[in-house]
Amino acid sequence: MTVTAKDLRFNISMLFDVLSKGEDILITYRGKAKAKLIPYNQPSSDKKTDTIFGMWQDREEDVDSMVRNMRKGRNFDI
């Protein structure tokens, strides 16, 4: 569906109805396409969590002690 910026201002509730039906809306301003509204799809909650958060799950050392060791600094005794 193509609408003008004026239609967007005055008929926003009608446009939300169109979006809820799954249709995209192209918004024009002075005859040129300026924006596109697409329906938002809620991500399903049954998705597996991101693998990046579990990448250290099999390490023995806990995060606190690892950070303390990194912050200790270095000794360069010659």
pLDDT tens for 15-70 read: 999 999 999 999 999 999 999 999 988 766 665 555 666 666 777 777 788 888 88
Distance (Å, rounded) from C-alpha 65 to C-alpha 10? 59
pLDDT of residue 45: 62
Residue 42 placed within a domain: no
pLDDT of residue 58: 75
Residue 74 placed within a domain: no
Distance (Å, rounded) from C-alpha 42 to C-alpha 72? 45
pTM: 0.52
Residue 49 placed within a domain: no
Residue 62 placed within a domain: no
pLDDT of residue 37: 92
Residue 63 placed within a domain: no
Residue 28 placed within a domain: yes
The tokens describing 12, both together, are 């926003």
pLDDT of residue 43: 67
pLDDT of residue 6: 92
